[in-house]
Amino acid sequence: MNINFNKNEDYNKLLVSELTKRFAKIKLGGGKKRIENQHAKGKMTARERIDYLLDSKSTHIEIGGFAGSDMYQEHGGCPSGGVIVKIGFVKGRQCVIVANDATVKAGAWFPITGKKNLRAQEIAIENNLPIIYLVDSAGVYLPMQDQIFPDKEHFGRIFRNNAIMSSMGITQIACIMGSCVAGGAYLPVMSDESIIINKTGSIFLAGSYLVKAAVGESIDNETLGGATTHCEISGVTDYKAENDKDGLDTIKSIMSKIGDYDKAGFNKIAAAAPKKNQNDIYGLLPKSRSEQYDMYEILKCLVDNSEYDEYKAGYGKTIITAYARIEGWAVGIVANQRKLVKTTKSKSKSSEMQFGGVIYNDSADKATRFIANCNQKKIPLVFLQDVTGFMVGSKSEHSGIIKDGAKMVNAVSNSVVPKFTIIIGNSYGAGNYAMCGKAYDPRFIAAWPSAKLAVMSGDSAAKVLLQIEKASLEKKGEQITIEKETELFHKIKDKYDEQTSPYYAAARLWTDAIIDPLETRTWINLGIEAANHAPIKKDFNLGVIQV
């Protein structure tokens, strides 16, 4: 056991404690008073609705819990993006659940709300999962309409996706549990079946005030678009429920009758816990992101029976490639080794040391071949990121590091098996891309509290930016003292470090969640189970690469 184990353990447990504390605050949505107002109207909160809907004792995960965190403060904030998204089981069927949080600006849509809804639909489409919408929203947040309304990835894309999913045969069920106005009215109507709650649910293109202003008609909202109107007169909705629980029970009943699905056929046997204590992760992972550690020891805490079959163990040692099982599922693991490693470079057995966390020519080549093998064998891929980037310098450039890196990026891009990414530590520069960052369509991407995402580390970036700032000030005739230089450095570094935080990334949905390391196996398990709903329909093809 390393000498810093106990210090590391204390530090990483504090990070998890901070994660729990932050998320507890976020789960309050718009605050206790607004939750009480929701209850006074006879309505459950978004989280209560989802909890009631999910099968008891079944596992589930939350997508984008930190979305909108510390954003839109001038508008009062938008915790969880004003919408809750969970993946879990309803009557034994895995599905995506999307619930507007009416305690946050009456469920109005901020830019991040739209992005999060689109992410939920993307997950449903990729994995062929049923999706349930629990609608309770005032529509687009008008002060920011220019950032949510007209573009390709804005509000209107939701309804386009409704239509695409319908054509794919993906089940969509909507329950109107509050306001459903203007363009948002199309979502439940474009779903397969819709339920509306009597007296509290309403759906219309324009509310009573706008109707009065537009056409001079005086009418109340209930008569205009309430449950009785749409279930007995317009035929817009399919079921009328008396209260929230009645509406959610109707969804459960519908879900219980859905037929089985065609499976992708990923290999699974009975799950087994790791033999190595999973809690050891806290002590193995160092406090400093620059400190070396052994990724093999982390692997033993994550995989079934702490067993794996390593591919090309003696070659390209700064990336570990191995077959293993997680919760019974066969997986191919691509992980950055963070230890300084010795590698043989010639027939004469001369050797050199390679820095942990850096991708070299040989490790990129090995990873490319391994990814191809996993695609050939139909084995899902798990990327464990702690990467500072590709090796630089004349030796690497002359050896064709760009070519080898491009091969790896090509393999990741064209992979047809589902990919899952866990950001353990560093996720810098092109290393983020090669190790299946968000731009490369991992089915799920989650970060541990120890993660850092950026073009480069705070220290490196601050040094570069400091030189630029110094040159600019000196051109203006200013003299830069050591004290001034130190002040500038820390000012730049502090700002940059804030942007590398996993919370900054999660707020913008660059990751799906920040998770306790002990939740990693659950995320991979539910992710592959979701992916098993969607048979692979295309062959793996690397395209044109330079050998």
Instruction: Provide, rounded to the nearest whole percent, the portion of the chain with pLDDT above 70.
Output: 98
**Rounded to whole angstroms, what are the CA distances from 126 to 28, 119, 120, 121?**
31, 10, 10, 9
Query: What pLDDT, on a 0 to 100 scale, did the predictor assign at position 494?
Result: 85
Backbone angles phi, psi at 497, to 5 degrees: -60, -35
Candidate from 141-145, 315-319, 512-516, 518-522 with smallest mean pLDDT? 141-145
**pLDDT top residue among 215 and 34:** 34
Asked if pLDDT for residue 454 goes beyond 70, the answer is yes
Mean pLDDT of 129-157: 91
Query: What pLDDT, on a 0 to 100 scale, did the predictor assign at position 138?
Result: 86
Output Rg (C-alpha) for the chain, integer angstroms: 26
Query: What pLDDT, on a 0 to 100 scale, did the predictor assign at position 217?
Result: 86
What is the tens place of the pLDDT at every residue in 222-274?
888 899 999 999 999 999 999 999 999 999 999 999 999 999 999 999 999 99
Mean pLDDT of 298-320: 97
**pLDDT top residue among 546 and 230:** 230
**pLDDT top residue among 142 and 323:** 323
CB-CB contact of 414 with 541 (8 Å):
yes
What is the tens place of the pLDDT at every residue in 345-370?
655 566 788 988 999 999 999 999 99
Q: 477 pLDDT band (50/70/90 cuts)?
A: confident
Mean pLDDT of 267-289: 97
In this prediction the pTM is 0.94
Amino acid at 179: S
**pLDDT top residue among 502 and 465:** 502
Query: What pLDDT, on a 0 to 100 scale, did the predictor assign at position 547?
Result: 62
Residue written as token pair 């809750």: 84
What single DSSP character describes residue 316? S
Q: Which of 229, 170, 200, 203 is nearest to 44 (CA)?
A: 200
Mean pLDDT of 43-70: 97
CA distance 476 to 494: 25
